[in-house]
Every structure is written in structure tokens, then in C-alpha cells.
Structure 1
Amino acid sequence: MDPDLEVNGRQLARFCRALDESLTSLGEARRALEHVRADQLGTAALDEACDGFQKRWKYGAEQLDDRITSVRDGVQATRAGFAEVERAIETAFRAVAVRHG
């Protein structure tokens, strides 16, 4: 075990907020692209290419959304777990201090 290991709950919380912001931005980009119609862009070939991109982008963005959500959930669970361990250690030290004055 690395004696230099340190878990900072505030940093984990900031990381979760950054992940939430990325999910928001990704959702906004996905919604903006949904409003662009391929037939508004130009030639039939360009329209077809844009339609293909839209389909791939939607799938990829949904997959990325799922992965970011999983990472965020894992970070939140890790943060909660470390907080619980810290509380248990603090409780144990307080109990020892009370017993030994």
C-alpha cells in the first residue's frame, strides 16, 4: 500500500461536477445537431454525408454519455466510501481516546 495515498473528497466532488457539465454540454450539442436538416446544406451528396454523420454522432454521443455517467457514478460511490471509512476511523480514535483519557 502506498503511504502517500490521499483522497480529497472536495476534488472528487469537483470532478463529478465537471463530468456533469460535460454531460450537459454533450446533450446540448446533440440537441443542436438534431435541428440541422441535411436537406438544408447543399448538394445531395453533402446531404447524404450529413445524414450519415448525424446517425453516427447520435450513437457515439449516446455511448459517450453512458460511459461518462458510469464514471461519475463510480467516482461518487468512491467518494462516499472513503467518507464512510474516514468517519469510522474518527469514531474509533475517539472511542480509544475516551477509554484511555
Structure 2
Amino acid sequence: MDRDLQVDTDQLGRFSRALGSSLTSLAEARRALEHVRDDQVGTKELDEACDGFQRRWKYGAEQLGARISAVHRGVKLSHEGYAQVNKVIEAAFKAVDGHA
């Protein structure tokens, strides 16, 4: 059974960009919530619910952001490494073709 390693660097690059976009969206959502005060949303109950949500989810959102960031760094490094290997292999084949 043939077990060649194949990596779609274009797909890896798209995944890396999607992770980066997710981090941006998460940060924007957290910033938007930080600016909403409990007396600005509407009814007293809605104001309290929004303020409570922000208090409860701040830590979770920060942790999620940290984990997405770590995965993003790893995927980005993998993409860059595979792209560099592909360039070296391509250059090696060109060098062989040029000397044949």
C-alpha cells in the first residue's frame, strides 16, 4: 500500500486565513460587548442579562481566542514550511532538467 504524504498548500493557506479572520471577528465581538453598558441596551432585565453575559463569557472568549491563536500560528508555520519545501523541490527539478 502506497502511503505518500500529500499536502494541499493552497487549502492550508486558506485555513490559516480563516483562522486569522476568526480571531479578528472574536476580538471585534468582545470589543463591541465591552462598550455596551448595562444601562444602554433597553429594559432593566435586558440590561442586566447583557451585563451578566459579558461577565460570564469574557474568560471563555479570551481562552477561545488564545487557543485559536495557537492553532493559527501552527497552521501558518506549517503552510510556510510546506511552501518552502515545494519551492526547493521545484528548484531542484529545474536544476536537473537544465543539466540533463
How would you bin the TM-score normalised by the shorter chain?
Answer: 0.7 to 0.9
Task: Give the aligned residue type for 2:81.
Answer: G
Within the alignment, does 1:78 sit opposite 2:78 as a pair?
A: yes
Gaps (5+ residues) in structure 1?
none
Deviates more, 1:32-41 or 1:53-62: 32-41
TM score, norm. by length of structure 2: 0.74
Deviation, structure 1 residue 22: 0.9
After TM superposition, give the deviation of residue 2 of structure 1 in Å.
2.5
Shift in Å, 1:67: 0.9
Matched residue, 2:19: 19
For structure 2, the residue ranges without an aligned partner over 5 or more in a row are none
> 2:44 corresponds to which letter in structure 1?
G
Matched position secondary structure for 1:38: coil
Aligned residues: 96
TM normalised by structure 1 equals 0.73
Matches of residues 7-86 of structure 1 in structure 2 within 5 Å?
Answer: 7-40=7-40, 41-43=43-45, 47=48, 50-86=50-86
1:39-92 deviation digits (Å, cap 9, x = unpaired): 45425xx72x65443222111111111111111110111111112222332333
Instruction: Give the structure 1 partner of residue 93 of structure 2.
Output: 93
1:2 aligns with 2:3: yes
RMSD of Structure 2 on Structure 1 (CA):
2.4
Aligned-partner Cα distance in 2 for 1:2–1:69? 31
